[in-house]
Amino acid sequence: MAARRGDLKNAELLLKKGADINCCDQYGLTALHAAAIKGHNHVARVLIRFGSDLESQDGDGQAPLHMAVVGGSLEMVEILVRNGANVNAKSNGGATPLCMATSMGYGDITEFLNSY
C-alpha cells in the first residue's frame, strides 16, 4: 500500500522491518508494479535497492516494466531498464513493453526502448 501511495518513509520502514518485498496482491501485483504504474520513482529505487524482483509477473503476465509503460513515465522506464529489467518481456497476450509503448503513442518511451 505504501508503494501505491508513493509513501517512501513507510515503504522503507516496512522493508527494514523485513516485509516481503515480492508479496503480491490478489491480482499478482507487487509493490514494484504499483510504484511503476503510478510513477513513484523514489519508491521504485528503494524497492530495487532492497532486491525487488524486476521480472515478477502479475495475473496478466505483465512485469513492472509493462506497468511503467502503461503509466507513461519515461523516467520510470529508464530506472527499471537501467537496473536490469528485460525489455523483451512478454505478457500473457504476447505484448512487449515496446509494443505497448508504440500502441499507446508514447514516442519518447518507444525511442528509449528501441535503443535497447
Go through the domains of the chain in sequence order and give each one's CATH number: 2-114 (1.25.40.20)
Which residues, 6 or more positions from 37, have their beta carbon under 8 angstroms from its beta carbon? 67, 68, 70, 71
78 has pLDDT over 70:
yes
Residue 99: is its pLDDT beyond 70?
Answer: yes
Mean pLDDT of 45-49: 96
What cell does 57 get? Answer: 509477473
Predicted confidence at residue 73, as pLDDT, reads 97
Check residue 17 and give its pLDDT. Answer: 80
**Global model pTM greater than 0.85:** yes
Half-sphere exposure of 100 (CA within 13 A, CB side): 23
Question: Which triple of cell numbers denotes residue 20?
Answer: 516481503
Average pLDDT of the residues of the chain: 92
- Checking if the pLDDT of 8 tops 90, the result is no
Does pLDDT of 53 surpass 80? yes
